[in-house]
Amino acid sequence: CVEIAGDNGFSALYANLKADPPVQEGAKVNAGDVIGAVGDTAASECADKSHVHFELRKDGASADPTKYIQFIKG
C-alpha cells in the first residue's frame, strides 16, 4: 500500500500494488511521480483481474472520490 497525505485533510490510499513500490515512507511526491504499479498482492482478491484499489479519505473518514476527482472512462 501507498498512502499519500495532502495538506488539506485529504489522503489517498493505493493498494494491491506490486511489491516494493518505488517510493519510501515519508517521501514527498509530486503530481506525475510513479508511486507503484498494478499488482496482485491482495490475497482476498486473487480471483479478480489485476487492479489498483483506491480509497479517498477526508479528515480520516472515507470520502466518495467522485465528488472530488473527475474520472475519465476509457
pLDDT (tens digit, 9 = 90+) per residue, 30-40? 999 999 998 87
Confidence (pLDDT) at 30: 93
d(C-alpha 4, C-alpha 34), whole Å:
12
The SS3 assignment for 17 reads strand
User: Any idea how long the chain is?
Assistant: 74
Count of other CB atoms within 10 angstroms of residue 18: 13
Predicted model pTM: 0.79
Joined together, the cell numbers standing for residue 48 give 479478480
Q: Give percent above pLDDT 70 in the chain.
A: 89
Locate the DSSP E strands across 1-74: 2-5, 10-15, 53-58, 61-63
